[in-house]
Amino acid sequence: MATATQIATRSLKRLGIVQAGETAAAIDVVDATAALNRMLAGFIADGYQGDFSPLDDPRFEQALIDILAVKIAPEYNVTPSDIIARDAARGEAQLNAAYLGVPKSVFDAALVNVRHNSAWIGITAVNPWYKSWTANTDVELRETRAKDGNLYECTTAGLTGSTGPSGTGDAITDGTVTWIWRRAVG
């Protein structure tokens, strides 16, 4: 588990501002650490949820180093390499997957039934706008599926199981997928 100072120093090294075997200037470490703290505060402001502490989780150490390197590069008049930029984008995607909450959807009741050409068009589980749930299917984050008159939204991507989601909870397990119940659609 790296400290903020260690991550800041490694970001400076990743950009080539500090060479291997050299010690970073104290002012550079202070500035990079302050940038790291602003970056972490920005993640929280962007909606990161739960016990947000990537500094305590070694899975995100390299991600933080790379993201910080990209953020501080302009201050040192350095252009990050394509590899650093790619690694920073991957790291940010990993952090988003771990900490960014899926917002709760709000459906307008007026959209449930729409009058069109003197016929009522109702949104139901068989409505082509909603895909039906199927077993052993890959599901991506935020995809929706209709099952047994309910609409579910994927909050953890994965492979569906054999029975599917049921109930009205916000952490419904189905194979390796986690669903949140959104509304009745029948």
The three-state (H, E, C) secondary structure of 40-52, written as one string? HHHHHHCCECCCC
Does pTM top 0.75 for this prediction? Answer: no
Q: Which pLDDT score, from 0 to 100, does residue 116 have?
A: 45
Nearest one of 68, 119, 67 to 89, comparing CA atoms: 67
Q: Which amino acid is present at 6?
A: Q
The domains located in the chain, with CATH, are 4-99 (1.10.3230.20), 109-184 (2.10.10)
Q: Which pLDDT score, from 0 to 100, does residue 177 have?
A: 94
Determine which helix (DSSP H) or strand (DSSP E) holds 177, and give its type and residue range.
strand 177-184
Q: Which pLDDT score, from 0 to 100, does residue 120 have?
A: 43
Q: What is the mean pLDDT of each run of 10 residues along the chain (186 residues)?
A: 89 92 92 92 77 75 94 94 94 82 57 46 50 92 88 90 90 93 78
Q: Which pLDDT score, from 0 to 100, does residue 168 have?
A: 87
